[in-house]
Amino acid sequence: MIECCGFLMAVENGPCIVLSPHYRRIPDRIKLVLNALPVIFLPVQEAVGIDFHCRPYPIEPLHPALAEYSDAETADSIGARDFPVPTGISWKDIHLHFIDMHTLTCRVGASQATFNYADWGMKHARTGKPDHSWLLLALLAESGGCFYPRWEGSQVAAGDRQKKSRLAAALRRIFRLESDPFTFDAERKAYLARFRISPETRSSQYHRRLRG
């Protein structure tokens, strides 16, 4: 990696951007050398995800060196089906209701439509079943819009936060909203949905909540 960076800077006579799949497996000695060079080191896994349609989406705000590429997003990146989102809405105006584990209705003002997980690009590429983003959406419906990450270990917690970030990025694309669809409740140590979401009424958890 160091040799490649040195060659590129010698040929181009300028700084370069290094894209790595992840950061953890880069030896510390290489990190130190890269930090001393005019190099921007970007761990792709921590900033960009790939959806079912093989399109990149930002998990977290992009580095300024790559931010310009986020503007190239087209309407096709919203998913297989577009939704007529009214202008001037916020997350509190959105209501999602699961019909079953594969389908939900989406109501925003006077607009309402029915979607399945594939319509929103939440289909696992290998199995064809709902992916983690759709399953997390269903979990939010069952838990009244609350997501409690597992905090018993840094890797587990980071994985849960990444799942939340991927779902947040997908929802921002679908509804064309820039703000985060989740807020963090420090007292409950949970992420709370800023939109309304409800489960299918046949759900056992739904009826347990009614009885409780």
Task: Give yes or no: residues 66 and 100 share one domain.
Answer: no
Q: Mark which of 24, 58, 75 sits at the end of a domain.
A: 75
The Cα 30–Cα 74 span in angstroms is 37
Task: Give yes or no: residues 167 and 135 share one domain.
Answer: yes
Q: Given this model, what pLDDT does residue 191 score?
A: 93
Task: Give yes or no: residues 83 and 71 share one domain.
Answer: no
Q: Given this model, what pLDDT does residue 199 score?
A: 92
Q: Given this model, what pLDDT does residue 188 score?
A: 86
Q: Mark which of 16, 45, 75 sits at the end of a domain.
A: 75
Q: Mark which of 75, 110, 127 sits at the end of a domain.
A: 75
The Cα 207–Cα 185 span in angstroms is 25
- Model-level pTM? 0.58
Instruction: Give burial (CB, 10 Å; 0-12/13-18/19+) of 188.
Output: exposed
CA angle 68, 65, 171 (to 5 degrees): 50
Number of H helices and number of E strands within the chain? Answer: 7, 11
pLDDT tens readout for residues 33-84: 666 666 666 666 666 666 555 556 666 665 565 554 444 343 333 344 556 7
pLDDT tens readout for residues 137-179: 999 999 999 998 876 666 667 778 888 999 999 999 888 898 9
Task: Give yes or no: residues 11 and 62 share one domain.
Answer: yes
Stretch 81-110: mean pLDDT: 86
Pairing of strands 190-193, 56-58: unpaired
Banded model confidence at residue 9, pLDDT cuts 50, 70, 90:
low
29 vs 102, which has greater pLDDT? Answer: 102
> What is the crossing angle of helices 132-142 and 154-175, to 10°?
90
- pLDDT above 70: percentage of residues in the chain: 54
